[in-house]
């Protein structure tokens, strides 16, 4: 009798417990792999899908949906389909105090605007000049060594560069060859662009201008390949004669300056920085003497100080050697100096976003 009664009680408890228990399936979060692009200028091809705001639903979430279900008293924010790429996310204004799920949060809340970093950006270290020269020139009292900030310009011809070592030798900045004309990209540009920044150099990109291509298509080609990096130095237009080019046209000075202006205007609008003009003595004498006074100049002068070769011209950079030697680079490299003190360098790069 007691065993029968006890068995009945145990059986009844198990039945009741079984009726009260539930087994809801786990919801599956299925996020598509990132399709991050590496092109310099890209636009998001997938817009942010519009999400209806309504009451929470008790239905299970399909495998290809990502949703956050809020309590009945709060609206529901949902994305239908796969999660869009990060670049496709548009700023979304979110109210404060939104309830946060206690378990398995699956939504990324995007602030209405990015908050500035309150930590002031420190000045980068300036390394002293330690370069050598395969063909040294005696500049006398006007020696480039008297300038505090030195740098280099490079292209594919410098090969695989040890940027960390090059910086410690005195390369505080680098201008990196990006493009020629309207269809050529230096094959080492992307590698040099990334590694120079990783090594702590201030770096910018330059374009070798072709006189047989329209200025507009050359500017578009440069913009397609050179990232709009707020930390970069202003872009450079390299204007000079090229004896190796199949283009033998010699334009009038008015036409030369017109094409330059179109190119520089397009770059300034896109990058928000006034381009620097690089040139050599013969081209300068023929077309640029007394012109573009409101633009910074980068002057090639490997046998004398720029004041001797470009009288009356204010300049920002001086390319004083095409036969420099440095640890971190095999072969020769172009050497340059900034026209100013360390403080002036920091102020100029700060104003230009670098």
CA distances from 329 to 127, 189, 297, 320 (A): 17, 16, 26, 18
Q: Where is pLDDT greater, at 53 or 155?
A: 155
Q: What is the 3-state secondary structure (H, E, C) of 92-144?
A: CCCCCCCCCCCCCCCCCCCCCCCCCCCCCCCCCCCCCCCCEECCCCCCHHHCH
> Known catalytic residues?
240
* pLDDT the model gives residue 353: 67
Least confident of 15-29, 141-155, 286-300, 307-321: 15-29
CA distances from 158 to 90, 154, 163, 298 (A): 41, 6, 11, 21
* pLDDT the model gives residue 326: 97
CB < 8 Å & 24+ apart, contacts of 251-258: 251/211, 253/286, 253/287, 256/211, 256/287, 257/287, 257/288, 257/291, 257/292
* pLDDT the model gives residue 249: 80
Task: Please choose, from the candidates 240, 336, 233, the residue with its C-alpha nearest in 3D space to the C-alpha of residue 276.
Answer: 233
The number of beta carbons lying within 10 Å of the beta carbon of residue 353 is 14
Q: Map tokens 């695989």 to a residue.
A: 160
CATH number listed for the domain at residues 148-351: 3.20.20.80
Count Cβ neighbours within 10 Å for each residue of 240-279 and write b for 16 or more, e otherwise: eeeeeeeeeeeeeeeebbebbeebbebbeebbebebbbbb
Q: Where is pLDDT greater, at 309 or 55?
A: 309
* pLDDT the model gives residue 245: 77
168-195 pLDDT, tens per residue? Answer: 999 999 999 999 999 999 999 999 999 9
**pLDDT(112) > 90:** no
Count Cβ neighbours within 10 Å for each residue of 148-176 and write b for 16 or more, e otherwise: bbbbbbbbeebeebbbeebbbbbbbbbbb
Task: Please choose, from the candidates 145, 128, 127, the residue with its C-alpha nearest in 3D space to the C-alpha of residue 136.
Answer: 145
> What are the start-end ranges of the H helices in the chain?
2-20, 163-168, 189-198, 215-225, 253-271, 281-283, 306-309, 342-351
In which band, very low, low, confident or very high, does the pLDDT at 76 lie, cut at 50, 70 and 90? very low
Rounded Cα distance between 82 and 13, Å, is: 46
* pLDDT the model gives residue 319: 98
Task: Please choose, from the candidates 180, 179, 226, the residue with its C-alpha nearest in 3D space to the C-alpha of residue 203.
Answer: 226
- pTM of the shown model: 0.67
Average pLDDT over the chain reads 76
* pLDDT the model gives residue 239: 98
* pLDDT the model gives residue 121: 52
Rounded Cα distance between 288 and 209, Å, is: 15
């Amino acid at each position: 009798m007691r065993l029968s009664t006890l068995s009945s009680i145990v059986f009844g408890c198990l039945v009741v417990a079984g009726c009260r228990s539930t087994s809801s399936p786990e919801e599956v979060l299925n996020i598509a792999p990132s399709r991050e692009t590496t092109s310099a200028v890209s636009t998001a091809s997938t817009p942010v899908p519009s999400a209806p705001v309504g009451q929470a639903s008790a239905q299970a979430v399909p495998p290809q949906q990502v949703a956050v279900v809020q309590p009945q008293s709060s609206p529901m924010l949902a994305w239908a389909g796969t999660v869009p790429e990060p670049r496709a996310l548009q700023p979304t204004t979110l109210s404060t105090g939104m309830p946060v799920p206690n378990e398995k949060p699956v939504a990324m809340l995007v602030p209405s605007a990015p908050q500035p970093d309150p930590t002031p950006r420190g000045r980068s270290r300036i390394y002293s000049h330690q370069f050598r020269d395969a063909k040294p020139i005696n500049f006398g009292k006007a020696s480039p060594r008297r300038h505090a900030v030195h740098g280099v310009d490079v292209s594919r011809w410098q090969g695989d560069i040890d940027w960390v070592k090059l910086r410690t030798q005195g390369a505080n900045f680098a201008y990196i060859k990006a493009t020629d004309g309207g269809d050529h990209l230096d094959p080492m540009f992307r590698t040099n662009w990334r590694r120079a920044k990783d090594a702590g150099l201030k770096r910018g990109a330059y374009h070798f201008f072709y006189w047989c291509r329209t200025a507009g298509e050359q500017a578009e080609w440069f913009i397609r390949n050179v990232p709009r990096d707020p930390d970069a130095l202003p872009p450079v237009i390299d204007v000079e004669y090229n004896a190796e080019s199949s283009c033998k046209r010699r334009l009038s000075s008015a036409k030369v300056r017109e094409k330059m202006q179109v190119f520089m205007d397009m770059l300034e609008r896109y990058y928000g920085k006034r381009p620097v003009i690089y040139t050599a003595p013969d081209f300068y004498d023929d077309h640029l003497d007394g012109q573009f006074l409101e633009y910074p100049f980068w002057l090639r002068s490997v046998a004398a100080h720029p004041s001797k070769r470009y009288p009356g011209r204010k300049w920002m950079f001086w390319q004083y050697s095409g036969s420099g030697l440095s640890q971190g680079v095999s072969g020769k490299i172009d050497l340059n100096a900034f026209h100013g003190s360390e403080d002036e360098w920091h102020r100029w790069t700060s104003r230009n976003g670098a």
